[in-house]
Amino acid sequence: MIREAFRRQYGTDQGVRVFRAPGRVNLIGEHTDYNLGFVLPVALDLACYVAATPSPDGRVHVYSEEKHESREWLAAESGALPPVHNWSDYPAGVARELFRAGYAIEPQLLLIHSTVPEGSGLSSSAALEVSCALALLRDQKFDALRLPELCRAAEVAFVGTPCGIMDQFVSVFARPNAALLIDCRTLEGQAVGLPQNVEILAVNSMVKHALGQSAYKQRTEECAAAVDVFRQIDPAVASLRDVSVALLEKVLPSVPHVIGRRARHVVMENERVRLFVNASCRADLERMGQLMVESHLSLQHDYEVSCAELDFLVDTAIGIEGVFGARMTGGGFGGCTVNLLQRGVSERFRLEITAEYQQRFGITPQIYECHPAPGAGELKNSEKIPDPAPLPR
């Protein structure tokens, strides 16, 4: 239990409260969030948990049970914290953003326990940010809509990852038994029911290529360059969200090749999100699966953020009977694929894809059942908290 771990670390469990924030798997709408487009994630029962109680020494203490490392700082100096470029920048960055937004950062003892596999593309960082934010806020009143924005600001301005709002937003506002359609410009969320006769499985490639971080920044710059090109034709274009399919087809021949392919992915991916939602409402599983595969091919060839392991997992999955579709999910260059299966075939799927992946890469993938879970909050009872998931190598 997390409270027992807390007692071992800090010598007390008096007044301990536990806050939870889920990871997520994105069904479709990849690399559209920082282009102010549309995404369709579901929250997971994989989550980050933070146990917290007041500290008597004027300091915030943060300990990671998975890392076996700690960090501390004076609570009164939370607004001036510097990054140290490791995992602790996530809670420290959240504390700094909350402090600068006018919230009180009280001295606390925090212990972090996460079941979201790091580097998997299932948003372990946002789960950590949101759970730490709830623990630091404790009994303070706060605007729930600001919480994802402040957590995202911590990741962008403090950690240095130019991410969009999707991960933090769904971690806060997810609905059980539904996906969440997010408009990343207006920050409006709409629950989208999923067909009853399907299962969603994430397959962790167990790899994360170093190219991911630098390429992510490069893609944001390429998208900004594409916006400049389209704005010359239509001054109303403020982001790739504003580029219609018709405008894309009209302007694409005159756009530099690489920038054009990046723009094509984003514009068509936004369209695929719309079509996927409509297909889900009709319980059209074949169409949903087809759109997932189209999304992956676009990420592979137009956006160029896939890798050999992800491509192999997708190609293998769609050849297994009972699989409607598959695609990479998350930032790319490793991490997970998301797979849409007919209910009842998951065991055969696990066996087949594991055997094929082991034979090709000598790696055993981790496979997670994706049950759409509720958003973040405080644990009100002695809910059993699972062990952490294995890390990718």
Can you list the pairs that 213-216 forms with residues at least 24 positions away whose Cβ atoms lie under 8 Å? Answer: 213/161, 215/304, 215/305, 215/332, 215/333, 216/161, 216/162, 216/163, 216/305, 216/331
Q: What is the mean pLDDT of residues 282-294?
A: 98
The answer to whether 178 and 191 have CB atoms below 8 angstroms apart is yes
Tell me, what amino acid is at 107? P
Percent of the chain predicted with pLDDT > 70: 96
At residue 112, the pLDDT reads 98
At residue 182, the pLDDT reads 97
Q: Under CATH, which number does the domain 2-24+45-166 receive?
A: 3.30.230.10
The answer to whether 26 and 39 have CB atoms below 8 angstroms apart is yes
Per residue in 6-35, pLDDT (tens digit) is 999 999 999 999 999 999 999 999 999 999
The answer to whether 167 is a known catalytic residue is yes
Percent of the chain predicted with pLDDT > 90: 90
Identified catalytic residue from 33, 167, 242, 302 = 167
Q: What is the mean pLDDT of residues 60-89?
A: 97
Q: Which of 118 and 376 is assigned the larger pLDDT?
A: 376
Residue 119 has pLDDT above 90, yes or no: no
At residue 249, the pLDDT reads 96
Alpha-carbon gap, residue 91 to 151, rounded angstroms:
9
At residue 347, the pLDDT reads 97
Residue 387 has pLDDT above 70, yes or no: no
Round the average pLDDT of the chain to a whole number and report it: 94
pLDDT band at 211 (very low <50, low <70, confident <90, very high): low
Per residue in 127-175, pLDDT (tens digit) is 999 999 999 999 999 999 999 999 999 999 999 988 889 999 999 999 9
Alpha-carbon gap, residue 266 to 254, rounded angstroms:
17
pLDDT band at 393 (very low <50, low <70, confident <90, very high): very low
Tell me, what amino acid is at 363? I
Q: Where are the domains of the chain?
A: 2-24+45-166
Q: Which of 154 and 392 is assigned the larger pLDDT?
A: 154
pTM check: above 0.95: no
